[in-house]
Every structure is written in C-alpha cells, then in structure tokens.
C-alpha cells in the first residue's frame, strides 16, 4: 500500500510541475539556457550521431579530446567494442534524446541521454568536468573534459 501511495504522490507531483511549466525532476531548468550546457550537449550529440552511424572508433577520441581517459587505451578499446555491439544486441539506433542535464557546482555537468534502438533503449551517461587553464586556478576559464562516459540498459534507474 505504501508503494502505491508513493507512486500516486510522485505522479501528482510531476503532473503539477508540468502543469506549472516546471522541468521534470533531474532536469535543471537553467540547463536549457546555460551556454556551457548547450555546448556540452552539442558535443554529446555529435558523439551519439557518430555512434549511430557506426563510427564509434572515431567518435570516442573526438569526445574525449583532452581527457585523461584517452590514456586508458585498453579500456577505450573495450568500450569501442561494446559500443559497436549495441546494434547487434538492441537493433539499429533510430533516435536519441537528452533526458537530463544538471550542473553540480560550477565545474561539473552531468548528462543522460536515451539512445533509442529498434528492440530496446540504452541510457548514455556523460560527466564533464572543467579543469583550470594552465596556470589559472579559481577562474571561470578552463577546459571542459569528459571524466565519465558509459552506457547501460538499467532503465528503472531513470525513475530515481
């Protein structure tokens, strides 16, 4: 009974927020107009477009430019292989959409995308971190780098 009440309250809360023109939970309303989030969204979009076209091998280095993750060559090679297998496992990708974008402080942006395949969707996670420009600390300048990129099919986690 408790779970049904919680579900009903959650649905009412989301409905009220949507009716009021607010953003759904997990989606930062300011992210829609934040120029940093918009630029990082473009970067993630170009990556997902490349993956959709079967170009994971070239899409990863572009996404990870300047990231310490590029030094983990074996891990990247395995990630490329797993990404290439998405089409075989879940069918051809036909679309993707951002389902959340959230800033955690000034220097961290978390994004989630729903990657829609013919048989089953995949959730992509991107975490961008701004590192200071060389010799600069505590400034607004700096380079946004991917520090986490991953995907999974745990759709139920999207509801948390």
Structure confidence at residue 130 (pLDDT): 95
Domains for the chain: give ranges and CATH numbers: 30-159 (3.10.450.50)
Distances (CA, A) of 46 to 65, 96, 129, 141: 13, 11, 18, 23
Output the CA torsion sign for 67, 156, 37, 96: positive
Structure confidence at residue 22 (pLDDT): 40
| Number of neighbouring beta carbons within 10 Å of residue 9 | 10
Alpha helices in 34-72 (DSSP H): 35-52, 56-63
Structure confidence at residue 100 (pLDDT): 96
Low-confidence ranges of the chain (pLDDT < 70): 1-31, 133-141
Structure confidence at residue 141 (pLDDT): 65
Give this prediction's pTM. Answer: 0.77
CA 132 to chain centre: 22
């Amino acid at each position: 009974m408790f779970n049904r009440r919680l579900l009903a309250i959650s649905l009412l809360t989301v409905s009220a927020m949507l009716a009021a023109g607010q953003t759904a939970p997990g989606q930062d309303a300011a992210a829609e107009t934040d120029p940093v989030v918009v630029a990082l969204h473009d970067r993630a979009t170009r990556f997902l477009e490349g993956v959709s076209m079967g170009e994971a091998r070239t899409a990863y280095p572009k996404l990870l430019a300047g990231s310490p993750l590029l030094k983990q060559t074996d891990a990247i090679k395995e990630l490329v292989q797993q990404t290439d297998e998405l089409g075989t496992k879940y069918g051809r990708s036909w679309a993707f959409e951002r389902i959340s974008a959230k800033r955690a402080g000034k220097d961290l942006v978390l994004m989630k995308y729903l990657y829609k395949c013919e048989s089953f969707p995949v959730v992509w996670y991107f975490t961008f971190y701004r590192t200071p420009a060389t010799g600069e600390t505590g400034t607004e300048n700096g380079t946004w780098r991917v520090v986490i990129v991953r995907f999974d099919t745990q759709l139920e986690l999207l509801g948390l």
